[in-house]
Amino acid sequence: MVTNAATLGRSGVHDFILIRASAIILTAYALFIVGFFLSTPQVTYTVWVNLFAQTWVKVFTLITLLSLLVHAWIGLWQVLTDYVKAVAVRIFLQFVLNVAALAYLVTGIVVLWGV
């Protein structure tokens, strides 16, 4: 059996489950943020800081960032494999876009936790 190092999952089924689970987490976070804006009459800097001072919000945000990375990694691999036929160009694009996704994750961790 040939394995592909570009995928996160061990198989297509595993990738399918990862992308669906990450989509559920991303949807839940989006609903949480929309609900926050709808239920807060005036969002000020202080209100925003107080929201993100809570550990559970930081953890939820971190899980969402990890889900975004997984979702992007698998999605980019699938799209680039389907539509970019030149292997060198596809590998270059995968590398650049995955480095960007990792940079977003690291930036999110630094912003959230002040590391």
In tens digits, the chain (115 residues) has pLDDT values of 445 555 555 678 999 999 999 999 999 999 999 999 999 999 999 999 999 999 999 999 999 999 999 999 999 999 999 999 999 999 999 999 999 999 999 999 999 988 6
Domain assignment present for residue 1? The answer is no
Taking only Cα atoms into account, the Rg of the chain, rounded to an integer number of angstroms, comes to: 17
Per-residue pLDDT at 11: 79
| Number of domains within the chain | 1
**pTM: predicted TM-score of the whole model, two decimal places:** 0.83
Per-residue pLDDT at 5: 54
Domain assignment present for residue 27? The answer is yes
Q: Which is nearest to 73 in space by CA: 93, 87, 94, 104?
A: 94
Q: Which is nearest to 112 in space by CA: 66, 74, 70, 72?
A: 66
Per-residue pLDDT at 114: 85
What CATH number is associated with residue 18? Answer: 1.20.1300.10
Domain assignment present for residue 7? The answer is no
Domain assignment present for residue 6? The answer is no
Per-residue pLDDT at 1: 46
Domain membership of residue 25 as a residue range: 12-113
